[in-house]
Structure 1
Amino acid sequence: MLTLDKVFNAQSVLKKIIRETPLVRAYGIAPDCELYLKPENLQITGSFKVRGSAYKIAMLSDEEKQKGVIACSAGNHAQGVALAATKNGISSLICLPDTAPISKVEATKGFGAQVCLVPGCYDDAYEKALSLKEQEGYTFVHPFDDENVIAGQGTIALEILNDLDNIDAIVVPVGGGGLISGIAYTAKQIRPSVKIYGVQVAGAASMYNSVKHSQIECLDSVHTIADGIAVKQPGENTFRYVNDYVDDIALVTDDEVSSAILALIEKQKMIAEGAGAAAVAAVMFDKFALKGKRVVSIVSGGNIDVTSLSRVIERGLFQSGRSSSLLIELLDKPGQLKDISRIIADCGANVTGVHYEKGNTESVNGCFLRIEMETRDYAHVHLIMESLRAEGFKIV
């Protein structure tokens, strides 16, 4: 059973393993509320996952420790289990799909785990882990649906409540539900007035759908840049805790998550993965009634691949109107580009790309000109469009 005593015990056990991440006041991200960030992206493994994994492993019997632990993950949970097992002098085996990024495979090995690459997807790796568990007698460390794992994640709430008074709400990303279960249970026991809000991405809304329909549901597929919370089905324990202690759950889009990642980089100099930025996205895009409130958003992890980060930044720039593209239909004659460039420059934007395209225009002598620009926001883009139209240019 999950108890408050167990969460406090987890806090004591974890002192030598995890890093207590201090709250950071965020400026310029959500001006309508007083926003603080809990930067678990600065955790030792780059994610909160090590808290639950380490407490679960610390609570094993001597016999279980001797046989070692096994887990299945393509990311943060793998690294958390690996580090926690190594710190406790226990062997660990992590089953990973053979499609997992090399960087994550090497990071898992770097924390002291053996890695078993399994052909196929996550589900194949999961089945392999369960098979090896039965064969070798390993203890399986579940990524979220385990009382000790949930208690370990609950230590985040203890740190938040100790660091900051008069909190109105804590906003938490949700995948399988281990993180929000621990935080919600702990916070509600200590300070029942604090609102707990969960955030899922629209492409992986398993907990959201389950709560709305009052029964656990399994998605056919998940598709999102927030791979850390791309879970097809919530756990039985976590579904119960979310129903009992979470005040509301909302959905964000991949574009909103991309904008939040970009905002964290620019405003806070903080790198977050998709899952880590989901709670910030919910606050940025007013998914909950938080105006004038003191709010804490959990930045749950920062393990994002560099190539993915560049694509996310580009998407975030488009989503926020910082980067834009206009397709202009015009007559193919000298001087057109000069006039267009002058108008854009007079509006204070910067042209970053010009592409000449022939196509099916109204005029035989027509063509298309695609202009890529750096702009301030959507209002700036609209100003440029209206200025071009005012001088007779047709925006397609």
Structure 2
Amino acid sequence: MSDITMIRAAADRLKGHARRTPLLSSPFLDEIAGRRVFVKPECLQHTGSFKYRGGRSALSALDGETRAKGVLAYSSGNHAQGVAKAAAEYGVPAVIIMPADAPKLKIDNTRALGAEVVLYDRENGESREAVGEALKAERGLTLVKPFDEPLVIAGQGTCGLEIAEQAREEGIETGDVLVCCGGGGFTAGVAMALEADAPGFRVRPVEPEGFDDVTRSLESGQRESNARASGNICDAILTPAPGEITFPIMQRLCGPGIAVSEDECLRAMGVAFQRLKLVAEPGGAAALAGALYHGDEIEGDTVICTISGGNVDAQVFRRALATLDDAP
């Protein structure tokens, strides 16, 4: 089980490899939100998302003989690229199982990082786990799960250590920390880090409308599932249900979830580009959308939010920029 000791150990292993992303602000964001907004742009991390932290953490903890046989991952794109880059850095094979409807940019980038990509039919219910188990058994690969894996959670929690340190530098001691949430690895990791280093903060998972399994699970007290597996532009954070490992952590440490619309995510992407000069993908902009457009669900005069990824196809990004034409 992940804990703060594992997160600190992951931070040591990631030194000199993962980027320490900044904490940004803009008076224009504050005006929209009606409070101070600080943004942790993990879209500036290696491979364009926080997932590199988890991938590198997991691979760096494997013994050399096991790692040399290669690793396996399944992902819509960001975890895929994080594991692929980490595997390339160690010079070991990586096989990544990706949905056929994942953004082309993410599939192309994963291949460009040297990984073998195996596509599966998410829309018609093909099981990525079944595909993965067969490949794992056939080739002797080590599976690196996208969120329900302690070493991955620990690596992603290193972002929380940075948030705590940077918030202290800004003189911020309390507030909601909004985290883009799929299966909950990032959310759980950040929550554990802040519990230890910045206990005045409360983590809030942010999800797309219609795929708010974590929000509903926190309300009901048990793991809830989504009715659909796809059909939302926030592909990076569409998961069937909260993780078995991540949910108890979120249940213990997180405040209520927030559900955001596709339109709000597109608008947040446009604002991030215009005011912070950042490129965000829809799922990566979910927390910023929550901060900007769901102020009545947030407490306090300061909110911190993650931009968890920036791997977006040009066509979708154009839709986001078009929202700026409609802005007041």
Whether these two folds match at TM > 0.5 is: yes
Pairwise mapping of residues 82-231 of structure 1 onto structure 2 (< 5 A)? Answer: 82-118=84-120, 121=123, 123-165=126-168, 166-169=172-175, 170-221=177-228, 222-231=230-239
Per the alignment, do residues 206 and 162 of structure 1 end up closer, same or farther by CA in structure 2, a change over 3 Å counting?
same
Offset of 1:7 from its aligned partner? 0.8
AA in 1 matched with 2:174: D
1:125 & 1:179 partners in 2: Cα distance? 21
1:271 aligns with 2:279: yes
Per the alignment, do residues 117 and 224 of structure 1 end up closer, same or farther by CA in structure 2, a change over 3 Å counting?
closer
Offset of 1:52 from its aligned partner? 0.7
1:301 aligns with 2:309: yes
Q: Could you tell me whether the CA contact under 8 Å between 2:105 and 2:312 is conserved in 1?
A: no
Which stretches in structure 1 are left out of the alignment for 5+ residues? 324-375, 378-396
Pairwise mapping of residues 267-346 of structure 1 onto structure 2 (< 5 A)? Answer: 267-285=275-293, 286-293=295-302, 295-314=303-322, 316-317=323-324, 322-323=325-326
SS at match of 1:248: coil
TM-score (norm 1): 0.76
1:99 & 1:279 partners in 2: Cα distance? 23
Equivalent residue for 1:41, pick from 40, 43, 55 = 43
Residue identity (%): 34
Per the alignment, do residues 120 and 164 of structure 1 end up closer, same or farther by CA in structure 2, a change over 3 Å counting?
closer
Q: Could you tell me whether the CA contact under 8 Å between 2:70 and 2:94 is conserved in 1?
A: yes
For residues 234-291 of structure 1, the C-alpha deviation after alignment (integer angstroms, 9 at most, x for no partner) is: 1111111110111221111111111111111111121111111111111111153345
Residue 27 of structure 1 is matched in structure 2 by: 27
2:24 & 2:3 partners in 1: Cα distance? 28
2:296 & 2:203 partners in 1: Cα distance? 13
2:250 & 2:309 partners in 1: Cα distance? 21
SS at match of 2:98: strand
SS at match of 2:310: coil
1:264 & 1:73 partners in 2: Cα distance? 25
- Which has the higher mean CA deviation after the structures are superposed, 115-124 or 188-197? 115-124
Residue 384 of structure 1 is matched in structure 2 by: none
TM-score (norm 2): 0.92
2:159 & 2:122 partners in 1: Cα distance? 34
2:195 & 2:317 partners in 1: Cα distance? 35
Which stretches in structure 2 are left out of the alignment for 5+ residues? none
Residue 4 of structure 2 is matched in structure 1 by: 4
Equivalent residue for 1:243, pick from 243, 251, 254 = 251
Larger radius of gyration: 1
For residues 100-125 of structure 1, the C-alpha deviation after alignment (integer angstroms, 9 at most, x for no partner) is: 44432221122121222345658444
SS at match of 2:210: helix
AA in 1 matched with 2:53: R
1:220 & 1:301 partners in 2: Cα distance? 25
SS at match of 1:235: coil
1:26 & 1:301 partners in 2: Cα distance? 19
User: Aligned-pair RMSD on alpha carbons?
Assistant: 1.8
2:258 & 2:197 partners in 1: Cα distance? 24
Q: Could you tell me whether the CA contact under 8 Å between 2:84 and 2:113 is conserved in 1?
A: yes
AA in 1 matched with 2:241: Q
- Which has the higher mean CA deviation after the structures are superposed, 109-118 or 302-311? 109-118
Q: Could you tell me whether the CA contact under 8 Å between 1:173 and 1:300 is conserved in 2?
A: yes
Residue 358 of structure 1 is matched in structure 2 by: none
- Which has the higher mean CA deviation after the structures are superposed, 119-128 or 23-32? 119-128
Q: Could you tell me whether the CA contact under 8 Å between 1:144 and 1:238 is conserved in 2?
A: yes
Q: Could you tell me whether the CA contact under 8 Å between 1:23 and 1:36 is conserved in 2?
A: yes
SS at match of 2:273: helix
Q: Could you tell me whether the CA contact under 8 Å between 1:17 and 1:84 is conserved in 2?
A: no
SS at match of 1:94: strand
Q: How many residues align?
A: 319
SS at match of 1:204: coil
Q: Could you tell me whether the CA contact under 8 Å between 2:105 and 2:311 is conserved in 1?
A: no
Residue 54 of structure 2 is matched in structure 1 by: 52
AA in 2 matched with 1:18: A
1:191 & 1:156 partners in 2: Cα distance? 13
AA in 2 matched with 1:17: H
- Which has the higher mean CA deviation after the structures are superposed, 224-233 or 174-183? 224-233
Per the alignment, do residues 250 and 100 of structure 1 end up closer, same or farther by CA in structure 2, a change over 3 Å counting?
closer
